[in-house]
Amino acid sequence: METGKKIVLLGQFGVGKTSLMRRFITNAFSNDYKPTLGVQIKKKVVILPSGKELPMIIWDLEGFSSVSKTRASYLIGSNAFIYVFDITRPITYYNLAEELEFLKTNYTKVLLKVIGNKIDIQDPIDVNTFLQTKSIYVDAFVSAKTGDGVQELFAEIAEKIQ
Amino acid sequence: MIMTNDQNSFFANKVQEIHTNLLGEVIQSSDTIFELEKGANIFELHPFFESMQQELTSGHDNSLAFPCVQLDIDDRVIICDITIKKQREFLAILLFDYSTHYEHLHAAAHEKKTALLNEQAHDLSLKHNEERKEYSELVRESLKNKIIGQLEDVLLDTQKLCKTDLSKEQQILVTDIERTITDLHRKAKQIRDSLEINFN
């Protein structure tokens, strides 16, 4: 089997990175909020439409106020970044343009996906319109709680980084 | 000064040094935290190491530090700082078990982040109420100027019309218009008043 592909979940605290990982790995959700300290790492082997098995190793990082403050060693060898924001908390996407610029400049070869989480609470249409006025295009709006869009997101990433 | 046995073993029990060849096969391990067999592959031990495989098996000599990594191996979870030193012939890996230290930090982090989330929720709620109030004012003004005012003008006009010399059919029509407009005027005022009750 191929060596695992490293996917790093980024974003401010409380946006649902751990819940997204849990939904992807075990298809479960918990309402309890327990902040991640440092990094936790989980692995899941996905089967691509071609039948190929692809191990995906998810690095769930502690939430931060700015991605530039993340320890660089955590990001080494990444195949994809998933930048997660909470559509119900503007503070988690107000500086999105700078955050994405930092990643695009410093990690040119790493696939980057921008994800709005918690669509079970709020319709993302206004947030999407607001971000589009700033030329920020969100790849997917998902709900870790209901599972909406989560498996599709990881399946799409798997296809692209295989 | 000579340290006591307890002091000697305090850090020794929390630090594990592992040496592997560049294929990741364990050459030697102090086995302080996890027991590793000679020849076992470090890249199969935990996804952390697996995801570092390419970085550690190619490129130049390197030294990497990873603080606060949660490792779950053989039903044991430890939170450790990991240092990996890549040499020409081998990899030297140092695990420092900081579980107790980080668990204390975890409780503090939980408290701090929960408080921050509550504060943000409170601020958002205040802003939301303020915006609702502003919006209700806007709707009320609009109702007053564009609907209620216009209907009142029409009512005045129908009253003027009633004073003119109208045919029987025209009188019936004007009375019907007046009744309808009065009803609409009453409903528009009801909406305006209910907005006042809902938002203030």
Are residues A35 and B106, on separate chains, in Cβ contact within 8 Å?
yes
Interface pTM, i.e. ipTM:
0.90
Stretch among A21-30, A88-97, B82-91, B105-114 having the lowest mean pLDDT: B105-114
A-chain residues near B110 (CB < 8 A): 33-35
- Mean residue pLDDT of chain B comes to 86
Say whether pLDDT at B111 is over 90. Answer: no
Stretch among A118-122, B17-21, B121-125 having the lowest mean pLDDT: B121-125
Vertex A57 angle, CA A91 and A82, to 5°: 25
**Beta carbons of B17 and B90 less than 8 angstroms apart:** no
Q: What is the pTM of this model?
A: 0.78
**Beta carbons of A44 and A55 less than 8 angstroms apart:** yes
- Residue A89 touches partner B, C-beta closer than 8 Å: yes
A-chain residues near B51 (CB < 8 A): 4, 6, 41, 57, 59, 77
Say whether pLDDT at B197 is over 70. Answer: no
- Residue A71 touches partner B, C-beta closer than 8 Å: yes
Phi, psi values for residue B157, rounded to 5°: -65, -40
| % pLDDT > 90, chain A | 85
Spatial distance between the Cα atoms of B151 and B186, rounded to a whole number of angstroms: 10
A-chain residues near B120 (CB < 8 A): 89, 91
Predicted pLDDT at B133:
87
- For A15, name the nearest residue in chain B, comparing CA atoms only: B117
| Residues A36-44, mean pLDDT to the nearest whole number | 92
